[in-house]
Chains A and B, each alone.
Chain A
Amino acid sequence: MENKILSIMSTKKLLKIALTLIVSVACFSCVEDDDYVIPSSLGNEENEGLTAIMDSIASGDITEISISELVALYTGTVTLIESDIVVKGYVTSSDRTGNFYKEFYMQDAPENPTAAIGVVLNQVDSYNQFNLGREVYIKLKGAYLGENTSEVVTIGGQADGDQVDEFTANQIPDFIFRSENTMEIVPLVLNPSEVNSSHLGMFVTLENVQFPMSLAGKTFLEPTDDFDTQRNLVSCLNGFEFPIETSSFANFIQEPLPTDGRGTISGVITQSYGGDDIVMVLNDTSDINFTEDRCDPVFEESFNTAIDNTTLNIDGWINYAEAGSVVWTEQVYGGNGYAEYNPYNSGDSSNIGWLITPGIDLDAQDGEVLTFQTEHAYPDSGHEPLEVFISTDFDGTEAGIATATWEPLTFDVSYIVDYDTWFSFTDSGSIDLSSYSGTAYIAFKYTGSDSSNQNMTLHVENVLVTVP
């Protein structure tokens, strides 16, 4: 545009001046340009720090100890470390989603770890510096060894009462050094029931687990919780429950729990605030791989809808007194519901009470297993009141009980397993139903009377038919 106008104007003077100016302005004056080239010096300072440590280790001025050695140094009180030692670890946690806050965990090896430890530091979003799998060296002289608020052994920069407190932002560059290595952390694969305090701080995969259907539609955070929410996983192997703990500051708290499958879930094993429970804390929900079908029971009755001290009347169930006046009742103790049969004080000379499940379809799957639990009170020596039967030709009516074919099932019952102990639920053991087909009914039959030695109280709980 300028040029066009200039050419129109033949004024020599103008041309001369304008051109001189354009040239001079163009030559002048570079103002800060707006590119952000990564400077070649980036990270030099940190590298020098690490090199110095490695040199000191080589020369023997500093001793490198393992995480397990370091953890073993913990005596139960916060301690200032005064010796020239350094520890190396691989970061197992990430605060990217906000589920960890101003802390990270590291374990002693990328794979098959034997020990892990926590690090607390006054830095948010430390994942973008001490990233998952990063090899980290911590100079320990001047640092503190103690427990964090979850009572996991932890390194920090200060002491705060009986706990270790964060490295301050100023301390971090003096104590924590990264190497250039970021390793893939191969998770330790465990069943939930195998997890124990030796795994604290490690990155672990729990196998063959799922969330119970009762959590369907719920999110990671229970809206009524102030800080953290625990959501129990259930093992398909043995029903063992294990909590996933989520901070209310995590960015995925609004995501619904994945209840449409089972599979593996990976996270850091740690403890809840105050150290009460061992829990798993997720780095990210992408570490949940519930790609297999659920392992839900073919049939399940937890009796948790029981109303205390009422005649048992659960939909589909048959509660029938073949002899005497006593029927099965619903009971609730300590918030837990169960079924009870108790002929005591009935005055009956004979009591036979049937409790029969609704029909269970055994054709829809293979390999069904029945489990239930029993407990007893006021044991009567020699009295074995409970029989458990299965029928595949029962018509589902009280009248049909007498004509149906009832095959007895073998199981463990509390008064046999532990005769003297009252009120302790005992697993029945796995009862194989795979040889049955069609619609099956499970019957619990109590036989006794209101006479001494024949009237022990019996509880039945958690009747489950599953495909393990």
Chain B
Amino acid sequence: MKKRLLIFLLGVFSFFTVSAQQTQIKGSVKDAVSFEPIPDVSVSVEGTTLSTITNAKGEFVFVSNIPLGEQILTISKIGYISKRFPIVVNENQTVDISDMTLEADLAANQDVFTISLSDDELDDDTSASDNISGLLSSSLDVFQRTAAFEFSPSFFRVRGLDSENGSILINGIEMNKLYNGRPQWSNWGGLNDVVRNQELTSGLTPSNYNFGGILGTTNINVRASQARPGGRVTYSSSNRSYTNRLMATYATGLIEGGWAFTVSIARRWGNEGYLDASLYDSNSFFASIEKKINDKHSINFTSIYAPNRRGKSSPNTQEVYDLKGIQYNEYWGYLDGEKKNSRIKEVEEPILMLNHYWTISDKTSLNTNVGYQFGKLGNSRLDYSGGGNPSPSYYQDLPSYALADPDGPDYATAYQLEQNFLNDGQIDWERILDANLTNNIGALPAAYVLYEDRSDDKQLTLNTILSSELTDNIILNASVNYKKLKSENFGEIIDVLGSSTGALNVDSFDGYQYDNLNPDRLVGEGDKFRYNYNLFADVISGYAQGQFKFNKIDFYLSGSVTNTTYQREGLWEHSRFPGSDSYGKGEELTFTGYGAKAGFTYKITGKHLFDVNAGYISRAPTLRNTFSNSRENHNIVRDITEEKVTSFDASYIFRSPIVKAKLTGFYTTIEDANEVGFYYADGLSGTEIENNETSAFVQEVLQGIDKRHIGAELGIEAQVTPTIKLKGAASVGQYTYDNNPNLYLTSSSFTSEDGSISYGQANLKDYKLAGGPQRAYSVGFEYRDPDYWWFGATANFFSHTYVDINTLTRTSNFYLDSDGLPFNDYDEELANELLKQERFDDYMVVNLIGGKSWKIGNKYISLFASIGNLLDKEYKTGGFEQGRLANYRELRDDVASPKRVFGPKYWYGRGTNYFVNLNFRF
């Protein structure tokens, strides 16, 4: 104990040299408090390319290419404070520095920051955000950390790419969903204590676990034997998403009999986050058991269960924000004095996994995994098939509608509407219940019901991962994977809202039977509603990779093959698409994808390095982008083919004891992508719409999209004094459509046989891709006081954020009248003006963080607080043009009216917000 304390206080270490035949550096790293070995610590010799990680016993060794003389050894691991040790290397001698210690980063700032972000943003698919910070938060790279922690509240995307381009693995099992390629972060939300053990490879850099996407691979290691022993209790308070969070974790580490156990539980809750009525209700449970059978075999069983419910929030037009402020959310209303949100996302997808670790030899290991995930994903919403649109910001209820009166602005009505919206402007639950009670009198079907769009997945994953050091210079990685998914998709009524009759399972818009074999069925709570089908997917993949490490150059080659099959099974026959168009099993689709990548790191000197990577991946489109209208029929996106991703990047890395910097240029293209979206379109041309209407609820299919992502990233940090570090990061990119893809719409309201209308090319080339700022800059500092308190501040600048364009207006539909001829009043100059893509205002966000730690005996208490957006800057993070105004005349008239009725809808970032975290560790 004394020794431990001494080591802790003075940070000293013991090292001595002994004579030996060869020059080598070896040692071990232990926890400064528990004195337990720490695995996976990065150990490197500064100014050289020598680096390695410690093994399970916390040991490492360098045997080749060792520079002689005075050197500095750096040891670092996430969650610990990095240390640098001066050593002297003599030829043919061994430097043995055993029992170096690492102190847990008492402030645990990085953990906490990760936690606050991943809770807040990662699973927030209610907004347009597709957050990548989870992919990067474990990075040590200053640029990536800045992107994760400072840029992500602005929905910044690294290189403008979606998270489907990065893989998240837990114990080697991929967690990205086959439906959209993205990880469902909330599946392990709240379990921050046990998922902190992450191994990140960014970009195309080779991973030891899989081939990965072009944004890299993060493997979360939840093996019980590798969890840091001890307990931890954390309480947090915030006004961002949840109000309260309580987490508790205990890990035994490897104990007698070769057992190891980790358990973690957490609860996050709150009636309202920053946005109105954005409730949060989440419980998380985790348990992992590992049995070390002998030196060669270990088996680990993990179960993760994190059910959670979140109230969603709406994007709004500028008119609405101007009237109600940026915290406004249209999805809720008061019922019996309580705020009720009509749109709740509920995720309940437990994960079970069994992992076998087989150390075949010192050099070779084989890791075999079985994972099974099942459960439900639900998004609730109001169905109003027998009532008026319940949206309080329905366009006819806003002042702009009266101002846009064709007979000239109706100021009196506009004022009335404005007052009404200001004073109320929420869902009128009482009217909804009254409507159903009224309908009960005549035994009529419910006017409104609350139902849930459900995706109940069952996915089995099997894989085996081989890692072998063939020689001192060559590492071979390979794996084989199999995934099998059955996804049950259906609507389900969760509340009939007072109706005693139930809802009619018929499309109220055009009278089609959702379930033609059971026509005109009345459905009640727990019954399926609107659609009911299964999706099946089978994915078999393999990869092989060689990593070669030499004195001046490291390089790698990696290749993969993936076979993907999809099939839809309609459980209901849709009367618009009778028989085999919608019912039973549809066509089985097969995609074959290949991946190849290679790269090298060239070390000019230890200070100056070049890193170059290039890769090509062809991959199956996601399920989401494969079926053009899966709720109604078997139709597949026309001319569907594999997406092709080509990526190239080159970096210059500078490393000195004070300054670390990395400058990267990148160029990525994505070809043959598809996008399927849906909305209510108004102003359609074409004679193939029922009853000669010009509006319909449509699925929009953009097919054969090419995109180009080009830009540069810079990260720089300087330890100017032992206590002060300056940080800077910048990302300057241009992310654009690179061709004019074909666009067609499908709808049950279209009279053509397959229910589609082609609009030819959408002239998208050189339009900017939406999704966060394309340029972001950050400067900041950290002050770290020797008395265990610290604070930091950053100023972050964002620019070149663009609205998501309504692609239909970029087709000929825009200028063609319903007879297929151009509008006779078409003014090209004005049209150009109307179609100009909106660029949002540039903005700056200032964030503060600070914390303090105390040590009491061998226990720690740490307090951490952060304030986001200190200056309360209002800024748009994203937005999209509404699909309503599909042609020139409508758009022209709307833009010309005093206030736009169908202006774009936006998301705003949070105003000033806080997060406080109190942590107790033992």
Using a CB–CB distance below 8 Å, which chain A residues touch chain B?
Answer: 1-2, 5-6, 8-9, 11, 13-14, 17-18, 21-22, 24-25, 28-29, 31-32, 34-39, 41-43, 96, 123-125, 127-129, 131-134, 168-170, 182, 221, 223, 248, 251-254
- In the complex, B303 has a CB within 8 A of chain A: yes
Inter-chain contacts of B495 with A (CB < 8 A): 34-36
Inter-chain contacts of A43 with B (CB < 8 A): 430, 434
Look across to chain A and name the residue whose beta carbon is closest to the beta carbon of B269.
A29
Complex-state Cα separation, A28 to B263, whole angstroms: 21
Inter-chain contacts of B231 with A (CB < 8 A): 13-14, 17
- In the complex, B265 has a CB within 8 A of chain A: yes
Inter-chain contacts of B71 with A (CB < 8 A): none
Interface 0/1 of B230-257, CB less than 8 Å to A: 0101000000000010101010100000
Contact of B250 with A17 in the complex, beta carbons under 8 Å:
yes
Inter-chain contacts of B285 with A (CB < 8 A): 1-2
Which residues B488-529 have CB closer than 8 A to chain A? 494-495, 497-498, 508, 510-511
Contact of A251 with B511 in the complex, beta carbons under 8 Å:
yes
Complex-state Cα separation, A186 to B620, whole angstroms: 64
- In the complex, B775 has a CB within 8 A of chain A: no
Inter-chain contacts of A32 with B (CB < 8 A): 271, 279, 281, 311, 338-341
Least Cβ–Cβ distance between A327 and chain B, in angstroms: 47
Pick the contact of B433: A28, A42, A123, A169 (CB < 8 A). Answer: A42
Least Cβ–Cβ distance between B66 and chain A, in angstroms: 43
Interface 0/1 of B252-290, CB less than 8 Å to A: 100000000101010101110000000111010101010
Complex-state Cα separation, A9 to B265, whole angstroms: 16
Complex-state Cα separation, A134 to B435, whole angstroms: 13
- In the complex, B447 has a CB within 8 A of chain A: yes
Contact of A21 with B271 in the complex, beta carbons under 8 Å:
no
Look across to chain A and name the residue whose beta carbon is closest to the beta carbon of B244.
A29
- In the complex, B387 has a CB within 8 A of chain A: yes
- In the complex, B876 has a CB within 8 A of chain A: no
Look across to chain B and name the residue whose beta carbon is closest to the beta carbon of A2.
B285
Known: A2-B263, A168-B416. Contact between A128 and B386, CB under 8 A? yes
Interface 0/1 of B416-437, CB less than 8 Å to A: 1000100000000111011111
- Secondary structure dominating the interface of A: loop
Contact of B340 with A38 in the complex, beta carbons under 8 Å:
no
Contact of B447 with A11 in the complex, beta carbons under 8 Å:
no
A1-B303, A2-B265, A31-B279 given; 4 more Cβ-contact pairs under 8 Å: A21-B248, A36-B429, A125-B447, A254-B511
23 contacts between A and B (CB under 8 A): A1-B303, A2-B285, A2-B287, A11-B252, A18-B263, A25-B265, A29-B269, A31-B279, A31-B281, A32-B281, A32-B341, A36-B335, A36-B495, A36-B498, A39-B433, A43-B434, A124-B388, A128-B434, A128-B439, A131-B442, A133-B441, A169-B420, A170-B416
Least Cβ–Cβ distance between B223 and chain A, in angstroms: 15
Contact of B265 with A22 in the complex, beta carbons under 8 Å:
yes
Complex-state Cα separation, A11 to B267, whole angstroms: 23
Complex-state Cα separation, A14 to B287, whole angstroms: 13
Contact of B441 with A248 in the complex, beta carbons under 8 Å:
no
- In the complex, B664 has a CB within 8 A of chain A: no
Complex-state Cα separation, A118 to B693, whole angstroms: 29
Contact of B442 with A132 in the complex, beta carbons under 8 Å:
yes
Contact of A34 with B344 in the complex, beta carbons under 8 Å:
yes
Q: Lowest 8 A-B CB distances belong to which pairs?
A: A128-B435, A31-B281, A39-B336, A128-B447, A25-B267, A124-B388, A21-B248, A14-B250
Least Cβ–Cβ distance between A467 and chain B, in angstroms: 36
Inter-chain contacts of A169 with B (CB < 8 A): 397, 420
- In the complex, B309 has a CB within 8 A of chain A: yes
Pick the contact of A182: B250, B309, B441, B510 (CB < 8 A). Answer: B441
Look across to chain B and name the residue whose beta carbon is closest to the beta carbon of A15.
B250
Inter-chain contacts of A129 with B (CB < 8 A): 431, 434-435, 438
Least Cβ–Cβ distance between A226 and chain B, in angstroms: 8
Contact of B339 with A128 in the complex, beta carbons under 8 Å:
no
Look across to chain B and name the residue whose beta carbon is closest to the beta carbon of A37.
B336
Pick the contact of B386: A36, A41, A125, A170 (CB < 8 A). Answer: A125
Inter-chain contacts of B341 with A (CB < 8 A): 32
Contact of B387 with A128 in the complex, beta carbons under 8 Å:
yes
Least Cβ–Cβ distance between A135 and chain B, in angstroms: 12
Inter-chain contacts of B441 with A (CB < 8 A): 131, 133, 182
Contact of B248 with A31 in the complex, beta carbons under 8 Å:
no
Least Cβ–Cβ distance between B97 and chain A, in angstroms: 33
Least Cβ–Cβ distance between A39 and chain B, in angstroms: 4
Inter-chain contacts of B388 with A (CB < 8 A): 123-125
Inter-chain contacts of A252 with B (CB < 8 A): 511
Contact of A96 with B511 in the complex, beta carbons under 8 Å:
no
Contact of B335 with A31 in the complex, beta carbons under 8 Å:
no
- In the complex, B858 has a CB within 8 A of chain A: no
Least Cβ–Cβ distance between A93 and chain B, in angstroms: 13
Complex-state Cα separation, A204 to B341, whole angstroms: 44
Look across to chain A and name the residue whose beta carbon is closest to the beta carbon of B397.
A169
Contact of A31 with B387 in the complex, beta carbons under 8 Å:
no
Inter-chain contacts of A29 with B (CB < 8 A): 244, 267, 269
Look across to chain A and name the residue whose beta carbon is closest to the beta carbon of B692.
A223
Inter-chain contacts of A132 with B (CB < 8 A): 442
Complex-state Cα separation, A198 to B270, whole angstroms: 62
Pick the contact of B434: A5, A24, A42, A251 (CB < 8 A). Answer: A42
Which residues B433-453 have CB closer than 8 A to chain A? 433-439, 441-442, 444, 447, 450
Look across to chain A and name the residue whose beta carbon is closest to the beta carbon of B289.
A5
Inter-chain contacts of A35 with B (CB < 8 A): 495
Contact of B444 with A96 in the complex, beta carbons under 8 Å:
yes
Complex-state Cα separation, A41 to B305, whole angstroms: 40
- In the complex, B413 has a CB within 8 A of chain A: yes
Contact of A9 with B450 in the complex, beta carbons under 8 Å:
no
Interface 0/1 of B319-345, CB less than 8 Å to A: 000000000000000011011110010
Inter-chain contacts of A9 with B (CB < 8 A): 252, 261, 263
Inter-chain contacts of A248 with B (CB < 8 A): 691
Interface 0/1 of B361-379, CB less than 8 Å to A: 0000000000000000000
Complex-state Cα separation, A123 to B248, whole angstroms: 53
Look across to chain A and name the residue whose beta carbon is closest to the beta carbon of B311.
A32
Complex-state Cα separation, A13 to B340, whole angstroms: 41
Contact of A5 with B263 in the complex, beta carbons under 8 Å:
yes
Complex-state Cα separation, A248 to B511, whole angstroms: 14
Inter-chain contacts of A17 with B (CB < 8 A): 231, 233, 248, 250
Inter-chain contacts of A25 with B (CB < 8 A): 246, 265, 267, 283
Complex-state Cα separation, A39 to B231, whole angstroms: 46
Contact of A131 with B439 in the complex, beta carbons under 8 Å:
yes
Look across to chain A and name the residue whose beta carbon is closest to the beta carbon of B251.
A14
Complex-state Cα separation, A142 to B694, whole angstroms: 39
Look across to chain A and name the residue whose beta carbon is closest to the beta carbon of B495.
A36
Inter-chain contacts of A36 with B (CB < 8 A): 335, 340, 429, 433, 450, 495, 497-498
Inter-chain contacts of B437 with A (CB < 8 A): 38, 42
Least Cβ–Cβ distance between A212 and chain B, in angstroms: 24
Least Cβ–Cβ distance between B282 and chain A, in angstroms: 9
Complex-state Cα separation, A36 to B283, whole angstroms: 23
Least Cβ–Cβ distance between B374 and chain A, in angstroms: 14
Known: A36-B450, A169-B397. Contact between A131 and B438, CB under 8 A? yes
Complex-state Cα separation, A22 to B335, whole angstroms: 31
Look across to chain B and name the residue whose beta carbon is closest to the beta carbon of A44.
B430
Contact of B269 with A31 in the complex, beta carbons under 8 Å:
yes
Look across to chain A and name the residue whose beta carbon is closest to the beta carbon of B287.
A5
Contact of A170 with B265 in the complex, beta carbons under 8 Å:
no
Least Cβ–Cβ distance between B315 and chain A, in angstroms: 22
Look across to chain A and name the residue whose beta carbon is closest to the beta carbon of B498.
A38
Least Cβ–Cβ distance between A299 and chain B, in angstroms: 38
Look across to chain B and name the residue whose beta carbon is closest to the beta carbon of A41.
B336
Look across to chain B and name the residue whose beta carbon is closest to the beta carbon of A128.
B435
Pick the contact of A125: B269, B281, B335, B387 (CB < 8 A). Answer: B387
Contact of A38 with B433 in the complex, beta carbons under 8 Å:
yes
Least Cβ–Cβ distance between B44 and chain A, in angstroms: 36
Inter-chain contacts of B263 with A (CB < 8 A): 2, 5-6, 9, 14, 18
Look across to chain A and name the residue whose beta carbon is closest to the beta carbon of B259.
A8
Inter-chain contacts of B265 with A (CB < 8 A): 2, 18, 21-22, 25
